[in-house]
Structure 1
Amino acid sequence: MTTSETPRSTNSKGQATVWLKPAQVKDLRNAIVKKSPSYLKQRNDALIQLLYDTGLRVGEAVQVDVEHLDLDESVLGLPADLQKDYPNENTPTYTRIGLAEETTRVLDQYLSSRWKESVALFPSTHSDRMTTQAVRDVVSLAAEAAEVQPHTRTGRGEPGDITPHTLRHSVAYRMLNHEDGHTLYNVRNRLRHSTIQTTEKVYDHFDSV
C-alpha cells in the first residue's frame, strides 16, 4: 500500500476531511470487483456501495445483520444499540434508512448467491462477521487498485488517504452537489449527527466546492 501523506486539512479530531466524487466511487467498485477473489467480488462491491449510499460508520457496518434489511421496501433498519455513542440518554429511536435503487439491486444479487450463510450481512473468510480492519482493508485495496486521488479542502490527496470514513464524507458531497433540493439539514439526518453544528463544521464548505 502507498504510505499516506500528512493530511493537509483536518477536523477538530485531527482527521483529514477527504471525499470522493460519484465517478470516483464507481472506480472503487470496478477496481474491487477486479481485485477480489471470485467468491468475494459481490460482497466487497455491496459493502462499498452500502457505505457510500447510507453513510454508515465502519463500526456500524460490521454489525449490520441480514435481518436488518427489507429489500422489498428498500430500507435498512438500524437499531439504536448499533449506532455510534448509543445507548445513552439521547438514544434515538429505531432508524430507518432508505436505500437507493442501485444499492437494493446490488444487495439483492449479493444475498441471492452468497458463498457463505451467516447472520451478519458481511461475513469474512474466517469468521461469521467482518472486522472493522477487514472493511478498511477492502476500501484501501480498491483505492490503491483504482489509483483514485481523493479531494481535500486544499487540493488532491493520495489513494492511501482513502478510508471507509471517506465514503461517509462522500455522501455529504453527493447530496449537496449532485442531488437537487438537499441542505445541510438533510445531510445531518442522513449521517445521523447529534447536532446540525457538527454537520456545518465539517461540510459547510461543500456548497462551494
Structure 2
Amino acid sequence: MTNEQLINQYKQFLIVERNAASYTVDHYIADVRQFNQFLTQQVINNFNDVSYSEVRLFLTELYKTGLSRISASRKLSSLRTFYHYLEKEGIVEHNPIQYVSMPKKDKKIPQFFYAEELEQLFTIEDCSTPFGQRNQAIIELLYATGVRVSELVKINVSQVDFSLGTILVHGKGNKERFVPFGVYAQDAVKLYLEESRPQLLQKGGEITTDRLLINHRGAPLTDEGVRYILNDMMNRASLTSSIHPHKLRHTFATHLLNAGADMRSVQEMLGHESLSSTQIYTHVTKDYLQNIYKNAHPRA
C-alpha cells in the first residue's frame, strides 16, 4: 500500500471511527501530506523507514519558513496521532514521533473586542431585511454563547429552547453541552426564525433542513459562509482590527471572567476538556484589573 493510500485510509478512520469534525480532518490530513511530501524529497517512500532524525529535520525546515512554534506543535501533534494509528494497525514497527519533544508554545494573549467595537458590530446590520436579521442572529449568538463556528453551523432549530434560554450544542468529539443565551440573542433569533428563515427556505424550493442558519439558497450555512459574513460586517463597520469567529469566543470568555464569573462555569460553557485551556483568559483579566487599579486608585 502506498503512502497516499495509507493517508486516505487514515482519513476515513478519522471521519468514521473518530467522528472528527471536517475542519479537524482537513488539518490533520494536510499536515500528514506535507510530511509525506518532505519524505519524498528525502527519497523515503515508506512511513516505516522514518527515523527520529528525519522528523527533526522536518521541524527544522518548517522553522526556516518562519512557522510559529504553536503551528509546528500542531503539525507534530497531527503526525503523532497519525503514527499512533499506523502502530495500532500494525503498519509500522516503531513510532519515531514519540521521541520528539513538543516545541514550547509562544504564550499569546487572546485578542478580544472592547465594548465600543462590539457596539459598532451589533448596530451595522439592517434588521428589516432577511439577511440583516440572519447576520444579526449570527453575531449575537457567537458573542452570547462563545460557541465555535463549527458548532454554530450545526445547531438545529429543535436544539434552541427559548423557555429555558439554552441551546444544545454538539462540541468536539460529538460531546453535548447546554449553553445559555441572553435576551438580545433570543430576540435576534426569534425575529430571524419568524420572518427571515421562512423566506430563505422558500428560495430553496424543495430544500428542507432543520439547521438554524441557512444561506440565500435555503441550504445550511457553512463555516466559510459565517467567516465571509463576519468579514463583510467588519468592513462595513470600518473597524481597523481583524475579526474571526474565535475572537468573539475569546471576547465571550474574557467579558464573563471580567464580570466575576467563576472559571469552572466558563470552562463548561466553552466546552473545554481541561481547565488549563480556559486559564489563558486570566492573563487578559489580570491586565484588565491592573489597568482599572492604575487609573482609579489615588496612590497607584
Q: Same fold (TM over 0.5)?
A: yes
Q: Identity rate of aligned residues, in percent?
A: 23
Query: Following the alignment from structure 2 to structure 1, what is the Cα–Cα distance between the partners of residues 262 and 165?
Result: 23
Aligned partners of 1:70 and 1:76 also within 8 Å? yes
The answer to whether structure 1 residue 109 and structure 2 residue 202 are counterparts is no
Task: Kindly tell me the number of residue pairs found equivalent between the two proteins.
Answer: 176
Shift of 1:16: 7.5
> Out of 153, 163, 175, which is 1:72 matched to?
163
| Secondary structure of 1:123's aligned partner | coil
In the TM superposition, what is the alpha-carbon distance from 1:25 to its structure 2 partner? 1.7
Q: Does the alignment pair 1:97 with 2:186?
A: no
Residue aligning to 1:56: 147
SS at match of 1:77: strand
Higher relative contact order (CA 8 A, sep 6+): 1
Q: Quick check: 1:119–1:128 contact (8 Å CA) kept in 2?
A: no
How many angstroms does 1:63 deviate by?
0.7
Can you give the 5+ residue segments of structure 2 that lack an aligned partner in the other structure?
Answer: 1-67, 72-105, 202-208, 289-300
In the aligned structure 1, how far is the partner of 2:181 from the partner of 2:141? 8
Q: Does 1:22 align with 2:115?
A: yes
Shift of residue 183, structure 1, vs aligned partner: 2.8
1:182 corresponds to: 261
CA gap 1:17/1:71 in 2 versus in 1, 3 angstroms: same
Cα RMSD after superposing both structures: 2.3
How has the CA–CA distance of structure 1 residues 189 and 102 changed in structure 2, closer, same or farther, with 3 Å as cutoff? same
User: Which structure has the larger Rg over C-alpha atoms?
Assistant: 2
Structure 1 unaligned blocks of 5 or more: 1-9, 150-157
Q: Distance in 2 between matches of 1:70 and 1:137?
A: 28
CA displacement 1:21-53 (0-9 Å, x = unmatched): 23322211212x14x993201000000000001
CA distance in 1, matches of 2:147, 2:189: 15
Seen in structure 2, the aligned counterparts of structure 1 residues 49 and 11 have a Cα distance that, compared at 3 Å, is farther
Residue 120 of structure 2 aligns with an amino acid whose one-letter code is D
Query: Are 2:132 and 1:41 equivalent residues in the alignment?
Result: yes
1:83 corresponds to 2:174: no
Partner SS state of residue 113, structure 1: helix
Taking the aligned partners of 1:30 and 1:137, their CA distance within structure 2 comes to 18
Task: Report the 3-state secondary structure (helix = DSSP H, G, I; strand = E; otherwise coil) of the residue aligned with 2:123.
Answer: helix
Shift of 1:120: 1.0
1:71 corresponds to which letter in structure 2?
A: F
Question: Larger % of helix: which?
Answer: 2
Q: Which letter maps to 2:270? A: L
Corresponding residue for 2:276? 197
Q: Structure 2 vs 1, CA of residues 17 and 11 (structure 1 numbering), >3 Å: closer, same or farther?
A: farther
Q: Secondary structure at the match of 2:147?
A: coil
1:134 to 184, 201, 225: 225
Under a length normalisation based on structure 2, what TM-score does the superposition of the two structures give? Answer: 0.54
